[in-house]
Amino acid sequence: MIPKLDDYKRKWNVESDLSIKPGLEAIKAALKVLQNPQERLQVVHLAGTNGKGSTLTFIEHIAKKHGLTVGKFMSPCIVDVHDQIQINGESISQKEMDEIFQQLEQSGLSGKLTDFELLTCIAFLYFAKKKVDLVLLETGMGGREDSTNVVTPILSIITSIAFDHTKFLGPTIQSIAKHKAGIIKQNRPVIIGRLPEEALIIVKNEAESKSAPVLALGEHIDVITAETEDVYRHNVKGMEIPHLTRLLPGKHQAENMALAITAFLEIAQHLQVPFEIEKIHQGVKSAQLPGRFEEALPNVYFDGAHNPASAKALAKTIQTQFPNEPIRFVIGMLADKDVDSVLRLLEQVSGEFYFVDFPNERAMKAKELYTRSNATKKAILSDPFSFIQNAANEPIKTFVTGSLYLLGIIREKLMR
């Protein structure tokens, strides 16, 4: 369920196909009816279990510092459907959404697309209409059969590969890697993060079969992290950028930054935009992302650690940023995630957990989370909003985590 999308569907009498059909036939047919707006866009396509949003955000800020108009399509939403489609950080307006829905209705596409396919078409139409310089396009799930995989991008990025969405992507790292590698295109570069060896083999084989140049972290590019600054190295170009500072903490964010800088160097060459080292510094330093170690209130942090890999990164970042400080977690999760592994990783940081229910058909009940937890101090919160607001006045770091949907619901109520 995408908040507020149903309002537009009802208003314009546009229905969704509720069945999930693997493959791109439906969206390709729809885009043809809409005169293929995606073909008028300069796109960077991102896939990965974790790190897509952060890498995209670093690219966005670096590109904006170089004067480019940047469209981005991300999922899931932060508050509602509007914030999934943005230009230069501004969400699509209700008026613009209405205009595009009217176009969808007149094109006879009602009932032919899933919600996410509809949203993908809306993003392409909006970015083409606004003639943006660059589109940063994040896959919804997987890659090969994801509805975003209808573009011929400037380059592709695969940030990471770990266990997630195993019901759809398969139960092994290899099966997940095959899906992610599907975004690699003929003769277009692919930039890859640190992947498990069995995934790396699959991705490199796919790239070789498509004559796609590979730029891999730890091989062709590197980042050296220090306490307050990073050094980026491009071993192929013989380039080094020292003294990089960022607001997004953690070694994993340094690696996402390195992928983003590498991507922008390729983008600049493709779009014939002269890159400036100082503007790369400025872009990296200004990059922030809701729900990624975000201090939403004093002493209250939002982080959407929803699978073992992101929970491990969160735990490590907390231990680095706040060594020996008291920590507690407010958590709600989707039932189709690896809940037990996430809990075990976060329990290494703190023994104090508070579990919450939230309105989502996939959400695990707080009572079930409570039962599965090994925390020494644990409770179920009937009113998480008051608890979080009060936590801002207490000398303990509170992390609201688990589902990004939960973070979105709490954020909207706090904004009100």
Low-confidence ranges of the chain (pLDDT < 50): none
Query: What per-residue confidence (pLDDT) applies to 78?
Result: 79
> Does 93 share its domain with 210?
yes
> Does 230 share its domain with 271?
yes
Domain CATH number, residue 19: 3.40.1190.10
Any residues with CB less than 8 A from the CB of 416 and at least 6 apart, and which? none
> Does 241 share its domain with 317?
no
Of 354, 351, 342, residue with least CA distance to 311:
342
Host domain of residue 27: 5-286
Of 198, 158, 216, residue with least CA distance to 182:
158
Query: What per-residue confidence (pLDDT) applies to 166?
Result: 57
Last residue within a domain, chosen from 254, 286, 318: 286
> Does 197 share its domain with 299?
no
Domain CATH number, residue 386: 3.90.190.20
> Does 46 share its domain with 176?
yes
β-partners of residue 233 are 222, 240
Any residues with CB less than 8 A from the CB of 43 and at least 6 apart, and which? 134, 135, 136, 137, 151, 152, 153, 154
Give the angle subtended at the CA of 50 by the CAs of 48 and 55, to the nearest 5°.
Answer: 80
> Does 156 share its domain with 229?
yes
pTM across the whole model? 0.89
> Does 180 share its domain with 45?
yes
Do residues 224 and 231 make contact, with C-beta atoms less than 8 angstroms apart? yes
> Does 159 share its domain with 250?
yes
Please give the tally of structural domains in the chain.
2
Q: Report strand pairing: 300-303 vs 294-297.
A: antiparallel
> Does 277 share its domain with 301?
no
| Residue 368 φ/ψ, nearest 5 degrees | -70, -40
Q: DSSP string covering 133-202, please?
A: SEEEEE-SSSSTTSTTTT---SEEEE----S--HHHH-SSHHHHHHHHHTT--TT--EEE----HHHHHH
> Does 123 share its domain with 264?
yes
Q: What pLDDT, in 10s, does the model give residues 344-400?
A: 999 999 999 999 999 888 899 999 999 999 999 999 999 999 999 999 999 999 999
Query: What per-residue confidence (pLDDT) applies to 165?
Result: 59
Last residue within a domain, chosen from 286, 310, 326: 286
> Does 198 share its domain with 311?
no
> Does 276 share its domain with 321?
no
Query: What per-residue confidence (pLDDT) applies to 411?
Result: 86
Last residue within a domain, chosen from 270, 286, 302: 286
For residue 154 the two structure tokens come to 């400037």
